[in-house]
């Protein structure tokens, strides 16, 4: 048994979709969630910039004793996870677009992927696509502007609808029957996308599979918390803490344990 917390971080608030799944599947684990909203979005930053930001966050999480860290950001996974795994002695679980699931389940032979530029440029996406989608017609779409709407808690508004129509309509016209959400911010739009595409198109959120992988790694390495422990949550933001609190409330998380976390610029940020 290892009663230290799991760390989860994202460029902002999108990784809360991963936190939600980890919390649901692993109710006895303690979790520290860090949103780097000050530096969000990561999608158009250079790989070197993202590696620096990721290392600063991981350094802070290690001061809190995190036993495993989830890089709950597709862009950060693409740019930094190899470096993190080489540099730190704890396990990391990352994100990658669920191309395999989409390719296996497609009936039309056509799938759509909605992601950031950084994800599409990354090694993981390219390798996964070559391995599993060689015989599938993949329609890629960069979701510019969607991350910012989630960060501003405007993901249910008219701006979101206009952008989603702009990005999803060409996929439907191409005949896709699977749409992969390749950014952890994008599941906040899942219900709207499902309403747009109807019953014949499956919208895939990779977060449940990531949570299963976290569970597997903890079990494999003997890092699971005591089974009778009631897990706690710490939410930390480098940006607007009020935005995260509003979003958590909308996700029906009514009470938060508040704690400060030292990040790379030596300033403390908290939800207080």
- What pLDDT shows up at residue 8? 97
pLDDT at 100 over 90: no
Of 40, 66, 73, 230, the active-site residue reads 73
Of 40, 66, 183, 230, the active-site residue reads 183
- What pLDDT shows up at residue 268? 41
pLDDT at 107 over 60: yes
pTM for this structure? 0.87
Residue 73 phi, psi dihedral angles, 5° rounding = -150, 120
39 touches 11 (CB < 8 A): yes
pLDDT at 266 over 60: no
* Catalytic annotation present for 73: yes
pLDDT digits (tens, 9 = 90+) for 119-132: 888 777 888 888 88
User: Helices 241-250 and 16-25 meet at what angle, rounded to 10?
Assistant: 50
Residue with token string 């896709």:
176
> In angstroms, what is the C-alpha Rg of the chain?
18
> Which residues in the chain are classed under CATH 3.40.50.1860?
6-95+208-269, 99-205
Mean pLDDT of 253-272: 46
CA–CA distance, 241 with 244 (Å, rounded to integer): 5
Closest-CA residue to 239 (of 117, 147, 146): 147
* Catalytic annotation present for 66: no
CA–CA distance, 119 with 79 (Å, rounded to integer): 8
Is 99-205 CATH 3.30.70.20? no
pLDDT above 70: percentage of residues in the chain = 92
CATH of domain 6-95+208-269: 3.40.50.1860
């Amino acid at each position: 048994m290892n009663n230290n917390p799991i760390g989860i971080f994202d460029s902002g608030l999108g990784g809360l979709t991963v936190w939600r799944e980890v919390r649901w599947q692993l109710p006895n684990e303690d979790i520290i969630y860090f949103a780097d909203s000050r530096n969000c979005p990561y999608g158009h930053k250079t790989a070197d910039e993202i590696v620096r930001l990721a290392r600063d966050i991981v350094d802070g999480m290690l001061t809190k004793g995190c036993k495993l860290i989830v890089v709950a950001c597709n862009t950060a996974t693409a740019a930094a996870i190899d470096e993190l795994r080489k540099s730190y002695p704890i396990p990391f679980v990352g994100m990658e677009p669920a191309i395999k699931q989409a390719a296996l389940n497609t009936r039309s032979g056509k799938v759509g992927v909605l992601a950031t530029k950084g994800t599409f440029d990354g090694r993981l996406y390219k390798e996964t696509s070559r391995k599993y989608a060689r015989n599938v017609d993949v329609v890629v779409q960069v979701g510019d502007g969607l991350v910012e709407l989630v960060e501003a808690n405007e993901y249910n508004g008219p701006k979101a609808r206009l952008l989603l129509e702009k990005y999803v309509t060409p996929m439907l016209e191409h005949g896709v029957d699977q749409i992969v959400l390749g950014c952890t911010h994008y599941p906040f739009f899942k219900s709207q996308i499902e309403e747009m595409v109807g019953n014949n198109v499956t919208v895939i959120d990779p977060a449940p599979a990531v949570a299963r992988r976290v569970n597997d790694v903890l079990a494999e390495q003997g890092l699971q918390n005591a089974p009778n422990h009631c897990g706690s949550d710490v939410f930390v933001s480098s940006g607007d803490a009020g935005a995260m609190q509003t979003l958590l409330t909308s996700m029906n998380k009514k009470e938060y344990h508040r704690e400060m976390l030292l990040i790379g610029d030596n300033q403390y940020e908290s939800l207080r």
